[in-house]
Amino acid sequence: MKPRTNYTKSGTFNIAYQVIGEGPVDIIYIPGWVSNIDMMWSEPRLAAFLTRLTFFSRLIIFDKRGTGLSDRSDEYSTMEERMDDINAVMDATNSEKAFLFSHSEGGSVSLLFSLNYPEKTLGIIGFGIFAKRRFSEDYPWAPTDEEREISNKLIEDNWAHGKLDELRTLVPSLGHDNGFMDWLASYLRSGGSPKAALILHKQCTHIDVTEILGSIKVPTLLLFREGDIEILVEEGRYIAERIPNSKFVEFEGKDHLFWTGDTFPILAEIQEFITGIRPNRSDFHSNSKENKKLGVDLKIVMSENYLYNLKVEEFAKLCARSLSAFKRDFKIAYNTTPSKWIKTKRLEYSKNLLIESDLNINQVCYECGFVNSSHYIKSFKEQFNIPPHQFRITNKVL
């Protein structure tokens, strides 16, 4: 289930954050351009990736000021203010030290934070991060001012309806998947209004951490895909050459999003970097004995994730089992099939929403993990012998 959203103060700004898992070490995810921590859990691939991190950590995620569920701003936020947001979230979650897992634009503030607060930083993990975002002869991979203006114009003209030509270049492996692309456009809109997105996009041109790279002392893991055209792999090599205690890893693929494509090698590098133990690919489909070693409790995973629109195969991955082992262990635990159990749980949850919330029937349908309102209404009637709207009328608390 979607984690509880909390707020903490960073100066006068309310910063939204969530805590997932109870692992022995903290990972703080520093997102890129815009984010929305509630919307993250509506994308199965992203939800699965984040959940996998909690197998060996306590994961803390947040929306920086100006984005998502946090307070908006009409002005550029400084790097100092961005670091204040991280400190505020660490204080609110009683996190004394943490690994900072950053993506894209989040990399620069993570690197700067490690330099200013080395006592709070266990290490940096950067996927597709950059050192600066303005072309220069010594950093020729960043966009020119002219290229940046074209991007600004696309945001200004197309943000409202999500027709951003550049979106498909972020994730070529799913560029053909209209459902995913619709989600991605919605996710970005939920992360920032047109004005907020434009402010943050323009703000990137002021980011430049090239001069501090040689001073960073914490262990640093740099992860890049060789075909990423948003942040080039050469930028990763540039950073790695200048940070003394760094490891650079290059993966096959073109996606700029870390949670799409083949994610196993990325997760394996992160787990080894943090724990010192590198999992095998088979560990992601392990048997019951291995599950006990990993501490992956099938009942806990299912009770926390049944509302997500995942396939049975994806639930098996979350539970660190092969599909056959998952079905076998599920039968032992619940004496039914995963599909029947999930459907029943979602319908039971929908009863509570119908009584306690003001969501309309379509909203209840999607909130409960169904993707088609007609199917939801038919399933509800079959389960409870009454359509959902009549059930609400009969049971609504006045």
Instruction: Give the chain's mean pLDDT.
Output: 88
Model confidence pLDDT, tens digit, residues 199-242? 888 878 888 999 999 999 999 999 999 999 999 999 999 999 99
Which phi and psi (to 5°) does residue 166 adopt? -75, -15
Model confidence pLDDT, tens digit, residues 329-341? 898 889 999 999 9
Topology (CATH level 3) of domain 339-392: Arc Repressor Mutant, subunit A (1.10.10)
CA atoms within 13 A on the CB side of 331: 5
**Cα 44 from chain centre:** 10
Span 6-275: which CATH code? 3.40.50.1820
Please compute the mean of the pLDDT values over residues 296-305 and round it to a whole number.
Answer: 80
- Is residue 393 classed exposed, middle or buried when 0-12, 13-18 and 19+ CB atoms within 10 A define those classes? exposed
In the predicted structure, residue 163 carries a pLDDT above the cut 80: no
Model confidence pLDDT, tens digit, residues 44-83? 899 989 999 999 999 999 999 989 999 987 777 888 999 9
pLDDT at 286: 46
In the predicted structure, residue 294 carries a pLDDT above the cut 50: no
Place of tokens 């992860």: 223
pLDDT at 272: 94
In the predicted structure, residue 285 carries a pLDDT above the cut 60: no
Domain ranges of the chain: 6-275, 281-335, 339-392
Tokens of 144: 């020119």
pLDDT at 72: 84
Please compute the mean of the pLDDT values over residues 357-362 and round it to a whole number.
Answer: 88
Model confidence pLDDT, tens digit, residues 90-142? 999 999 999 999 999 999 999 999 999 999 999 999 999 999 989 999 999 98
